[in-house]
Amino acid sequence: MIKKNVLFLCTHNSARSQMAEGLLRALLGEGYQAFSAGVSPTIVDPDAIRVMDEIGIDISGQRSKGLEEVRETKFDTVVTVCDNARESCPLFPGAGSMIHKSFQDPALFQGEERLAAFRRIRDELRAWIEGQF
């Protein structure tokens, strides 16, 4: 079976796109190859790793990547998961289709609200991925 390549794009490739990559790989990995990248990559947020671990998905081996690292890959679907990424990459050369689905940035939250925001966004991503793919 040929797997479909899916790229999740976000600004920093630190939380939303990383969680989406891990979710697609864990939930539907038999039919999809998941990738993620950022317009301005940084590091994978430790809170993203933590909340994914809570549901048994290990993304600790993933790293933040820039667009230049994935430009040569042919993607069946490119998903922008934040508005900034959509504005920066309205078109992705060679992509079969482009989807935009904006999710709130959990890194904007502080204190006790922060982990709750990461969990909420993780769960929203999971529900969207299960319904989309």
Question: What b/e sequence results for 88-114 when a residue is b if at least 16 CB atoms lie within 10 Å of its CB, and e otherwise?
Answer: ebeebeebeebebbebebbbebeeeee
Residue span of the structural domain in which 54 resides: 4-128
Q: Could you tell me the CATH number of the domain that includes residue 74? A: 3.40.50.2300
What are the two backbone dihedrals, phi and then psi, of residue 89, each rounded to the nearest 5 degrees?
A: -130, 65
Q: Is 71 part of a structural domain of the chain?
A: yes
Q: What is the pLDDT of residue 86?
A: 66
Which of 9, 23, 48, 89 is flagged as catalytic? Answer: 89
82 is an active site residue = yes
Say if residues 85 and 15 touch (Cβ distance below 8 Å): no
63 is an active site residue = no
Q: How many domains does the chain have?
A: 1
- Tokens representing residue 18 in the block: 């990383």
10 is an active site residue = yes
Q: Is 133 part of a structural domain of the chain?
A: no
User: What whole-number distance in Å separates Cα of residue 133 and Cα of residue 75?
Assistant: 14
Full pLDDT tens readout for the chain, 133 residues:
899 999 999 999 999 999 999 999 999 999 999 999 998 999 999 999 999 999 999 999 999 999 999 988 999 999 999 987 666 666 677 789 999 999 999 999 999 899 999 999 999 999 999 999 9
